[in-house]
Amino acid sequence: MSGVVAVFDAGKTNKKLLLFDEEYKVIHETSQRFEEVADEDGFPCENVESLQSWIHSELTRLLAAGQFTPTAINFTSYGASFVHLDENGKVILPLYNYLKPYPAQLASTFFNKYGGENNLSRETASPILGHLNSGLLLYRLKHEKQLLNNKGFSLHLPQYLSFLLTGKYYSDITSIGCHTMLWHFEKYRYHDWAMREGIDQRLAPVFSSDEVMDVEFNDARFLVGVGLHDSSAALIPYLASFHEPFVLISTGTWSISMNPFNHSPLTAAELKQDCLCYMTYQQKPVKSSRLFAGHMHDSAVNKIAAQFNRNNNFYEEIKYDENCVEQLKSRFKFSEDDLDVYTSCEDAYHALMIDIVRKQAESTNLVMSADVKKIFVDGGFGRNEIYMRLLADAFPLLEVYAASVPQATAMGAALAIHKHWNRREVPEGIVNVKRQTSDGRRE
């Protein structure tokens, strides 16, 4: 058989194993969910033992079946999460949940000691996000759990998954550079505070995201990557397919606007408006902004459905109404707590989408640059006609596209190590796009 790559994609909810052929078609897929466990405070967290058994059992089962034998393996997972190992590779602490509240007093002590929130945020391209700043987790564990008294390494989750096959301790720039508050984006090294605290000594050497290690497992040999942070991985198919400047709006619970072509430093004002930088696997910053748009949508939809006695998926049948939009744009500012002003769920839903897209445009404009001519929207909102038409209207001088990539995150991890397993050029058409115009045409 021609080249095949396996990708372990560990999301917060679903854990997937996907196999791609040389044309980047998915030829095999399995999915599992694990029950969470609790940390010492009773807060839910990832079950590390389940992750361990998942990697080994899935690969063992795949080899035993004999239908597909991958040449290479890579990994991708959510960021801001460390697995803490002792010098023998044994897990010594829980895989703490990044949603766990951060101790306010400890945060105050940290920022007072190291120059204040504004300076640290700007230098590390990280908004203040508590445990989502995974470097602050290491700071807490040093002072509360004496983490640095233990020899060993703390690996971001994608690199821990890779470690389970390679036995090698490595870090990866896409995980380090993702709102961790560890990386100084101007000096291009770990921030001074991390070195003064000795945190950098807990971090493994950086391994290039597009290189591989030669690994033997169950008498089979593989080329194994170091793993990537999921947001950075999901951008790779777009970077591989489009070379003119673009903005990608990746939509889900969060709508994240990513501009890989905007190299201006983040300002204090942008950071306060939830801007940050991701890092590409080629070690380039990606100026980005976040909007809690999917959450806003789902919360309001539930209330609209209750108000008008409809099912929660009522909006899937609503078509764009130009007259409704024109009237609502001038009449109302949407509030999910004041639905009595609407005579129908159609009016209420249009008003909601007008409000979301207005906020989306403001968020996306924070990272926009003059050279951008295209906006790609992937995820759920890319399939929402009302959202797409309103977005096209909000950016009349740009080309707005609904875009889709089957298993974009896993595909990105496969593309990162393309040169090691795939004999062919990256094929055209791995990103499906349809242009959306404000008058409703899709091309």
pLDDT in tens, 251-283: 988 899 999 999 888 998 999 999 999 999 998
Does the domain formed by 5-226 have CATH 3.40.50.620?
A: no
| Residue ranges of domains in the chain | 5-226, 229-443
Report CA torsion sign: 148, 90, 29, 69.
Answer: positive
Residue 441 to residue 443: CA distance in whole angstroms? 6
List, in sequence order, every residue forming a beta bridge with 214; answer none if it has no partner: 223
233 phi-psi bin (left φ>0, alpha ψ -120 to 50, beta other): alpha
The helix (run of H) or strand (run of E) holding residue 74 is: strand 72-77
Tokens coding 72: 């290479």
pLDDT-based confidence at 330, cuts 50/70/90?
confident
309, two tokens: 């006695």
Domain 5-226 matches domain 229-443 at the CATH topology level: yes
* Distance, CA of 331 to CA of 18 (rounded, Å): 49
Name the nearest CA neighbour of 250 among 199, 294, 184. 294
Q: What is the pLDDT of residue 1?
A: 47
Question: Architecture of 229-443 per CATH?
Answer: 2-Layer Sandwich (3.30)
In angstroms, the CA 281 to CA 240 distance is 12
What are the pLDDT digits (tens) for 62-93?
999 989 999 999 999 998 999 999 999 999 99
Query: Which tokens in the block code for residue 149?
Result: 């008294």
Question: Residues 403, 394: contact at Cβ < 8 Å?
Answer: no
**How confident is the model at residue 437, as a pLDDT?**
83
- pLDDT tens for 349-371 read 999 999 999 999 999 999 999 99
Going by C-alpha positions, the residue among 372, 406, 375, 369 that lies closest to residue 388 is: 375
* Cβ(316)–Cβ(301) below 8 Å: no
Question: Tokens 């089979």 map to which residue?
Answer: 220
Q: Indicate the Cα dihedral angle 264, 180, 294, 374, nearest 10°.
A: 30
Quick check: helix, strand or coil at residue 388? Answer: helix
Identity (one letter) of the amino acid at 191? H
Phi-psi bin for 373: left (phi > 0), alpha (psi -120 to 50), beta?
A: alpha
